[in-house]
Chains A and B, each alone.
Chain A
Amino acid sequence: MSFETKKNITVYKPAVKTEEMILNMGPQHPSTHGVLRLELQLEGEIITKVIPHIGYLHRCFEKHAEAMTYPQVIPYTDRMDYLASMGNEFGYAVAVEKLLNIQVPERVEYIRVIMAELQRIASHLVALGTYGADIGAMTPFLFCFRDREKILSLFEMTCGARLLYNYIWVGGLSHDLHPDFVRQTRDFVTYFKPKIKELNDLLTYNKIFIDRTSNVGILPLDTAINFGISGPMLRGSGLKWDLRKDDPYSVYHKFDFDIPVGEGKVGTVGDCWDRYYVRVLEMGESLKIIEQALDQLPEGDVSSAIPKRIKPPVGQVYTRVENPRGELGYFIISDGSVNPFRVKVRAPSFVNLGVMDVLCRGHMVADIIAILGSVDIVLGEVDR
């Protein structure tokens, strides 16, 4: 084999032409995070091409939305990215409220932010835990899920559901906060801060983990922007871009938080370790936002602005929110009736998955798992 070194990575070029093998990482596989089929063209152990095949979880969300009324669509939005349901509902509610041009009470905005940030921590815990499990470290997986259970019980206390909430409605919320919610959330914040440090000691700075993930799957910044990448993947490549600061919605402009960016600390900028580390740091930032929101939480009635009948004027709107996986966009066209005319969801995982081929060229089969884990897709969102 001959090697050529580009920056810090070594791309293998086989000197002898071997037969190309097509390997199918089929729809059922322990680490494709859902039903995703990756068709790999291999030369020995080196990948020459990756073709993702999706559509195994297509549930026709957009067609259903045209048959439902506006409030009835919300449970359907939950089920797209089922690990970040609050974010999905948030985006849809913001879009329809823009179309209706209604103003929600401040208390509603603050509670929505708290829920979205808690959901961000929960979703990142799943991403980090499963990433460790894919690489081979099974223990951090259980630690992350243990912490996530605490968040899910907070959600259960508020709206009765652990995973798919139907909580954020157009114009308000379905239930007000439980009287004990603020105290329990503050307890959680105090409990969770040292856990991030524990995760860092166990997994983030582990030499074997660093060897597996640094200098693997490097995503240059201009490629990332051209491919429409967003979220921790884009921030891992070095760009300080976060919709909560660059295109603010709800009350995010009232909070003081930082945006972690990949800096190539143990490898090159934009490798898998950077994306992983950005997610770890984001959990800390979310804790900051939750603390500030709990301190500033005003009183009010959460259901006062919920309209009895939602019939927006003819028009169209495109809004986007910062989901844990990236930029979730809702494009809603209304024709004046109670059903939306067209709802298009711009799912972050759908767009992020398009870059797999470019990321995986020249790597080995074992690296595909590392790269796929760092893209952090949820098939419900990719296929809708």
Chain B
Amino acid sequence: MKTAEEFFNILKQKFGDSIIELKSGVPLESFIIIDPLKIDEVCLFLRDDSELKFDNCMNLSGVDDANGKKEAQADGSSTIVGGTISVIYHLESVYLKHKVTLKVSAPRENPQVKSVAAIWRSADWHEREAYDLFGINFINHPDLRRILMPYDWEAGYPLRKDYKNPEFYQGMKVPY
């Protein structure tokens, strides 16, 4: 049963700069921050290495960090400028029974993250959901389109903190 520090050390040795930092001490789990464009190489190593063998991606969630600057708009609402949007991966190994949490952060204006759908097929739909609700573009994803919202929803990405509902959708009034 390895701890987060050991994973961090193993990864740092192999990948150097792509592994940015280990954030621990925050309740309740420590997570490893990784460069968004190198995440697929790191995950391939995590899955295939015989000591680590992370063969199950339990969860993949987008998070809007909301750490940018709030700018007020004309109609009283506010948008957030700058800051990051993150994706958090929870991996586990069914046979070796350990878990690790990874985090990648991408700039809010144009979040680009490498897709891990080819490594764990469960990430396929999770990444589609992150794209649908946050607008994160996953490079190399086999079929990136909206999954929960209607396919022609053009009013943005609902789970962002500064999301506003549109007035009309296909002729129907949205807010009531």
Taking a contact as CB atoms under 8 Å apart, the answer to whether A346 and B58 are in contact is: yes
Chain A residues closer than 8 Å to B147, beta-carbon distance: 54-55
Report the Cα distance A314→B23, complex, angstroms: 13
Beyond A239-B94, A313-B27, A315-B28, is A354–B121 a contact (Cβ under 8 Å)? Answer: yes
CB distance from A139 to the nearest CB of B (A): 36
Chain B residues closer than 8 Å to A241, beta-carbon distance: 94
Asked if B45 CB lies within 8 Å of chain A CBs, one says no
Q: Is the interface of A mostly helix, strand, loop or mixed?
A: mixed
- Could you say which of A58, A333, A384 contacts B63, with CB atoms under 8 Å apart? A333
Taking a contact as CB atoms under 8 Å apart, the answer to whether B58 and A228 are in contact is: yes
Beyond A313-B27, A315-B27, A318-B29, is A342–B59 a contact (Cβ under 8 Å)? Answer: no
Chain A 333-348 near chain B by CB (<8 Å), digits 1 or 0: 1000000001010100
- Could you say which of A99, A314, A342, A384 contacts B61, with CB atoms under 8 Å apart? A342
CB distance from B153 to the nearest CB of A (A): 10
Chain A residues closer than 8 Å to B124, beta-carbon distance: 354
Per the 8 Å Cβ criterion, residues 358-384 of A in contact with B are 383-384
Asked if A350 CB lies within 8 Å of chain B CBs, one says yes
Chain B residues closer than 8 Å to A346, beta-carbon distance: 58-59, 61
Taking a contact as CB atoms under 8 Å apart, the answer to whether B122 and A58 are in contact is: no
Which of A55, A228, A327, A331 has the most chain B CB atoms closer than 10 A to its own CB? A228
Taking a contact as CB atoms under 8 Å apart, the answer to whether A318 and B101 are in contact is: yes
CB distance from A359 to the nearest CB of B (A): 12
Taking a contact as CB atoms under 8 Å apart, the answer to whether B121 and A329 are in contact is: no
Taking a contact as CB atoms under 8 Å apart, the answer to whether B55 and A225 are in contact is: yes
Asked if A60 CB lies within 8 Å of chain B CBs, one says yes
Asked if A320 CB lies within 8 Å of chain B CBs, one says yes
Report the Cα distance A227→B57, complex, angstroms: 8
Report the Cα distance A54→B151, complex, angstroms: 11
Asked if B144 CB lies within 8 Å of chain A CBs, one says no
Chain B residues closer than 8 Å to A333, beta-carbon distance: 63
Report the Cα distance A312→B75, complex, angstroms: 34
Asked if B26 CB lies within 8 Å of chain A CBs, one says yes
Chain A residues closer than 8 Å to B7, beta-carbon distance: none
- Could you say which of A63, A99, A354 contacts B125, with CB atoms under 8 Å apart? A354
Taking a contact as CB atoms under 8 Å apart, the answer to whether A316 and B26 are in contact is: yes
Taking a contact as CB atoms under 8 Å apart, the answer to whether B148 and A246 are in contact is: no
Taking a contact as CB atoms under 8 Å apart, the answer to whether A331 and B122 are in contact is: no
Q: How many A-B residue pairs have CB under 8 A?
A: 91
CB distance from B158 to the nearest CB of A (A): 6
- Could you say which of B88, B120, B126, B150 contacts A226, with CB atoms under 8 Å apart? B120
Asked if A25 CB lies within 8 Å of chain B CBs, one says no
- Could you say which of A58, A226, A331 contacts B121, with CB atoms under 8 Å apart? A226
Closest residue to B149 on the A side, CB-wise? A55
Taking a contact as CB atoms under 8 Å apart, the answer to whether A351 and B125 are in contact is: yes
CB distance from A349 to the nearest CB of B (A): 11
Report the Cα distance A320→B94, complex, angstroms: 14
Beyond A316-B29, A329-B90, is A227–B122 a contact (Cβ under 8 Å)? Answer: yes
Chain B 81-99 near chain A by CB (<8 Å), digits 1 or 0: 0000000101000100100
Asked if A98 CB lies within 8 Å of chain B CBs, one says yes
Chain B 18-50 near chain A by CB (<8 Å), digits 1 or 0: 000000001111010000000000000000000
Asked if B11 CB lies within 8 Å of chain A CBs, one says no
- Could you say which of B61, B121, B125 contacts A344, with CB atoms under 8 Å apart? B61
Chain A residues closer than 8 Å to B88, beta-carbon distance: 316, 331
Taking a contact as CB atoms under 8 Å apart, the answer to whether A344 and B27 are in contact is: no
CB distance from A79 to the nearest CB of B (A): 16
Chain B residues closer than 8 Å to A239, beta-carbon distance: 94
Per the 8 Å Cβ criterion, residues 119-165 of B in contact with A are 120-122, 124-126, 133, 146-150, 158-159
Given contacts A58-B149, A227-B120, A383-B148, 13 further A-B contacts (CB under 8 A): A54-B148, A55-B147, A55-B150, A60-B158, A315-B27, A316-B88, A331-B59, A331-B61, A331-B88, A342-B63, A351-B126, A355-B121, A384-B148
- Where the two chains meet, the residues of B that have a C-beta atom closer than 8 Å to any C-beta of A are 26-29, 31, 55-59, 61, 63-64, 88, 90, 94, 97, 101, 120-122, 124-126, 133, 146-150, 158-159
- Where the two chains meet, the residues of A that have a C-beta atom closer than 8 Å to any C-beta of B are 54-55, 58, 60, 62-63, 98-99, 101, 223, 225-229, 239, 241, 246, 313-318, 320, 327, 329, 331, 333, 342, 344, 346, 350-351, 353-355, 383-384
Task: List 17 A-B residue pairs with CB atoms under 8 Å apart, sorted by A's residue number.
Answer: A58-B149, A63-B158, A99-B27, A101-B27, A225-B94, A226-B121, A228-B122, A314-B26, A315-B26, A316-B26, A316-B88, A318-B59, A327-B58, A329-B58, A342-B63, A346-B59, A351-B125
